[in-house]
Amino acid sequence: MIVVTSVNVNGIRAAAKKGFLEWLAATEAEVVCLQEVRSEPEQLPAELRDLPGWHAVWAPAASKGRAGVAVLSRKAPERTAIGFGSAEFDGSGRYAEIDLPGLTVASLYLPSGEVGTERQDEKERFMAEFLVHLVELRARAAKDGREVVVCGDWNIAHQPADLKNWKANQKNAGFLPEERAWLTRVLDEGGYVDVVRRLHPDQEGPYSWWSYRGRAFDNDSGWRIDLIIATGILAKKCVEAYVERSATHAERWSDHAPVTAVFDLNN
């Protein structure tokens, strides 16, 4: 049994003051992938820099206070890597991966984009390069007899069921036709399975992000943009997959909720 969780913390220093550490202490996950850490490791307070019981790989962004991902694991990784071999993006705090025995786990923070701006071009460049990486990653893993799980904030909702107000968002970054088509290619050409959707094929959501504006959280007017995808054999072993909306309910320590997949390796 291996439990993997992904959560965009929207600033780990702010999140730690509001309940992230209590959530982490209570989780049963074996691996936790973080996005939007928004801190250099050196800027972290002691209780975050040295998380008792966890090994951490931090991938901060070159520009301070931006992006930043991490992978926390209870066991020491066999290998860690920052970036995916991209000249443009390896220093941008958007990708890190670790190898555990027979398994690669990656944390991804895809650029959020904004239609009509350079930020959308950047998102599309990232998408193009990253799809190549996903294909290669699976091929290498297959050769080595390992499985792969890629967790993160993809900043794209795949299907109408993945956001509350899909009709109004067809021209907005995060639900553009070309972004949705790209996610389809990630699954089909990449050979990965969206494990939450696989186990909950007919459900609206479950959403994992709600804007801080207005009453989005209270109305559950959210988006399912935090995805855990896994290679086929591993995906079939996924026995549970859910969004922990309640984790950020009592005191909201992020605008995203943790997404968790439970794999039964004896399955």
Q: Which residues bind DNA (CB under 7 A)?
A: 10-15, 18, 36, 38-39, 43, 63-67, 111-114, 119, 212-214, 255
Nearer to DNA, 89 or 192 (CB): 89
Determine contact, residues 111/190, Cβ cutoff 8 Å. Answer: no
Q: CB of residue 13 vs DNA: minimum separation in angstroms?
A: 4
Q: CB of residue 104 vs DNA: minimum separation in angstroms?
A: 25
Q: Which of 50, 90, 99, 153 is catalytic?
A: 153
Q: CB of residue 124 vs DNA: minimum separation in angstroms?
A: 13
Amino acid letter, 235: A
What order of strands is seen across the sheet that includes strand 95-100?
A: 79-82, 95-100, 103-109, 147-153, 226-231, 192-194
Q: CB of residue 117 vs DNA: minimum separation in angstroms?
A: 8
Nearer to DNA, 119 or 125 (CB): 119
Q: Is 153 tagged catalytic?
A: yes
Quick one: tokens of 239? 């026995």
Separation of CA 120 from chain center: 19
Nearer to DNA, 77 or 111 (CB): 111
Sequence-separated (6 or more) residues with CB below 8 Å from residue 30:
2, 3, 4, 73, 74, 75
CA distances in angstroms from 197 to 25, 190, 207, 240, 261, listed in the order given: 27, 17, 11, 11, 11
Nearer to DNA, 147 or 255 (CB): 255
Instruction: Enumerate the active-site residues.
Output: 153
